[in-house]
Structures are given as structure tokens and as C-alpha cells.
């Protein structure tokens, strides 16, 4: 009898949905153990986390029919290889859009207004009274926000930024470009400006990253992009760490090439680039873009429903590679 493998327990109602569908085993596995488990014939569906790497070799050896990733992102899975081997991958789209855009906004506000420095200042007992030049930051309203990407989370960030009186530019597929129809622009027609990646980099006061990690977005923000930014620019990353060359970022922040960075994700997560944590002009969060009680619960519901469907021989409601189902 086949089993659902869960690499980390997911919040309610996820585990109940999974247990109602069939036998469930929770095992935290390193890569080699995950490889062996997927090849063992014991499991037909894996409920995975973004730290679980499903590379081409693992997928070729695997006897599973599906992977239900507890995330909207799926750069931990080689989708082409999964499809080639008839392994369906499912994710949790839609439910974490607003909360991740909130974190992008929080990082913009807290870097510009030096919130973390200010909080430490008060806690250290250094606040001796209002002063005209105490902890001066930079404005958010009236400034230019350049968005890398124009998917769900970028648009939710644009909505918030427009509410703050910012000018919003976006490049839909950096470092290249693509057409964006009036239909796709929808509510944003006439309110945001389609720009090249070069223009985003050189003219924005805030550059916020909202692209999936792929070969073309790996190190999208490298030393060259950083030095093309305004010295007053602030970089925000709520997407994936390797979109930024973190060593180049530390150098740029140290040398005043850009003013500050607000990061929720890291290139070698959970490790930080040496020097990053010592820089006062950074706000560093531990990948909490989707971390609200209701969102994590909704992600768990979608993830478990995807897994339960595949386990019962049905296509998942949120497939990344629906064509794989026909091949399984």
C-alpha cells in the first residue's frame, strides 16, 4: 500500500486532509535520504518544502507520481525533468499574494525610515528627547518604485505603493522585456509605467524584486546592476535569494554604491553572506513573506488538497506542469 511522504508537518487543516486521504509518514530527510525515499516504491506523493531539492537525477530514479510543494515558488524542483518522468508538481498560488506584498512594503518603509536602527536606539536607552536631526531617513511618498516582474505579488505591491503616492514602473520579464496588453494592465492602465530593466535599475529610488528564480534571473542584480543604481537607491528582495549576487550587494552597501537593502530571502538560505548582518543599512527578515496564521493555513489546505488528489489518482487543482499528469 502506497503512502504520502511529508517532509515537514504542515499547519492545520493540512495534516487532517492528508490523513483522510491515506497513510501519511512525516520524515525530515536530507537530500540523499529524500532520493532513496522517492526511489523506494513506498511513496506515491511527496509533500515537500522549498529546502527539498528535486533535481533531474532524483526525479529520474523516483517512483512517485506527484510532488505537492508547500510554497508558490518551485525553483527547488526541476520541472522539465519532472514532466519528462510523468511526475506532476503542484503549488499554492494566489493565497500568499497580499501578505508577501505587505512584507515588500514593510521592507521599503523600514529601510527608508530606519525603523530597525531606531528601535534598537530606543531599547538601548539612547533616546534622550526629540532632535531635529535624529535618525533622518528618506521619503517613500513621491519616490519611484521599480518592480522587477509584473505577476500577482508585483501587482499587489504596486497597488500598495500607489496608495503611498509613489510613481510605479515595472519591467515584466527582466533582464529582457515582453509586451503587456491593456487587458493585462487592467486596473493599472495609465497608473503604472512599463519600463526596460535598464530604466528600472537607473531611475528607481526603490527596486523591488518579484521574479521567479530561473537561469535568466539568477544574479539579475549583480555588481553591474548595483553600480548602475542611484546611490540613494534601496533594494528590496522578497522573491528568491539567488536573484541577487549577495557578495556584490554587501560590497555595494558597504561602499555606499546604493543606500540600503531590505531582504526576506538569501542566496544560500539560511546562511548569510559574511558582513551582511553587520551592516546598519539593511533590514533582514527570515523568509516570512507568507508568514501569517491565516495564509500558512490556507497554503496548507491547498497543498494537502493537491497531494490528496494525486494520491487518489486525480489531477491536482493547482498543477505547475499539468501536462505531466497525462504521462503518469
Catalytic (active-site) positions: 240, 269, 287
Dist CA 243 CA 220 (whole Å):
5
Tell me: does residue 65 bind ligand DGY (CB under 6 A): no
144: nearest Cα among 67, 202, 57, 231: 202
From candidates 149, 242, 289, 316, binder to ligand DGY by CB under 6 A: 289
In the chain, where do the E strands start and end? 3-6, 24-26, 43-48, 66-69, 88-90, 144-148, 167-171, 192-194, 206-209, 234-237, 260-263, 282-284
From candidates 17, 38, 47, 71, binder to ligand DGY by CB under 6 A: 71
CA-to-CA separations, 202 to 225, 232, 260, in angstroms, rounded: 8, 11, 15
Which stretch, 5-13, 68-76, 118-126, 188-196, contacts ligand DGY (CB under 6 A)? Answer: 68-76
Tell me: does residue 73 bind ligand DGY (CB under 6 A): yes
CA dihedral for 156, 161, 167, 169, sign (positive or negative): negative
Site string for ligand DGY, 86-105 (x = CB under 6 A): ----------x---------
Dist CA 107 CA 116 (whole Å):
10
Tell me: does residue 50 bind ligand DGY (CB under 6 A): yes
Does residue 270 have a cis peptide bond before it, meaning omega lies within 30 degrees of 0? yes
* CB nearer to ligand DGY: pick between 72 and 168: 72
Q: Taking the complex as a whole, how short is the minimal distance between the CB of residue 73 and ligand DGY, in angstroms?
A: 3
Which stretch, 70-78, 134-142, 156-164, 202-210, contacts ligand DGY (CB under 6 A)? Answer: 70-78
* CB nearer to ligand DGY: pick between 71 and 226: 71
Residues in touch with ligand DGY (CB under 6 A) = 50, 71-73, 96, 289-290
Amino acid at each position: 500500500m502506497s503512502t504520502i511522504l511529508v517532509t515537514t508537518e504542515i499547519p492545520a487543516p493540512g495534516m487532517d486532509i492528508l490523513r483522510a486521504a491515506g497513510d501519511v509518514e512525516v520524515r525530515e530527510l536530507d537530500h540523499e535520504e529524500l532520493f532513496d525515499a522517492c526511489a523506494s516504491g513506498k511513496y506515491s506523493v511527496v509533500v515537500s518544502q522549498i529546502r527539498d531539492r528535486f533535481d533531474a537525477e532524483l526525479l529520474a530514479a523516483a517512483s512517485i507520481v506527484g510532488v505537492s510543494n508547500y510554497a508558490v515558488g518551485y525553483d527547488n524542483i526541476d520541472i522539465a525533468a519532472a514532466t519528462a518522468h510523468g511526475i506532476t508538481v503542484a503549488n499554492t498560488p494566489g493565497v500568499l499574494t497580499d501578505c508577501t506584498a505587505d512584507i515588500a512594503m514593510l521592507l521599503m518603509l523600514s529601510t527608508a525610515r530606519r525603523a530597525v536602527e531606531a528601535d534598537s536606539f530606543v531599547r538601548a536607552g539612547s533616546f534622550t528627547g526629540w532632535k531635529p536631526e535624529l535618525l533622518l531617513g528618506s521619503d517613500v511618498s513621491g519616490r519611484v518604485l521599480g518592480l522587477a516582474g509584473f505577476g500577482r505579488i508585483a501587482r499587489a505591491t504596486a497597488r500598495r505603493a500607489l496608495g503611498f503616492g509613489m510613481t510605479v514602473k515595472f519591467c515584466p520579464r527582466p533582464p529582457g522585456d515582453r509586451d503587456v496588453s491593456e487587458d493585462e494592465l487592467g486596473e493599472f492602465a495609465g497608473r503604472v509605467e512599463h519600463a526596460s530593466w535598464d530604466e528600472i535599475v537607473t531611475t528607481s529610488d526603490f527596486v523591488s524584486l518579484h521574479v521567479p528564480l530561473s537561469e535568466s534571473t539568477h544574479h539579475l542584480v549583480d555588481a553591474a546592476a548595483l553600480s548602475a543604481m542611484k546611490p540613494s537607491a534601496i533594494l528590496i528582495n522578497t522573491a528568491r535569494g539567488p536573484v541577487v549576487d549577495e557578495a556584490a550587494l554587501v560590497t555595494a552597501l558597504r561602499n555606499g554604491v546604493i543606500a540600503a537593502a531590505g531582504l526576506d530571502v538569501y542566496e544560500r538560505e539560511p546562511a548569510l553572506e559574511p558582513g551582511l548582518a553587520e551592516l546598519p543599512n539593511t533590514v533582514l527578515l527570515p523568509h516570512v513573506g507568507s508568514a501569517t496564521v491565516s495564509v500558512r493555513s490556507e497554503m496548507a489546505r491547498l497543498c494537502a488538497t493537491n497531494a490528496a488528489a494525486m494520491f487518489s489518482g486525480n489531477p491536482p487543482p493547482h498543477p505547475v506542469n499539468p501536462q505531466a499528469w497525462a504521462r503518469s
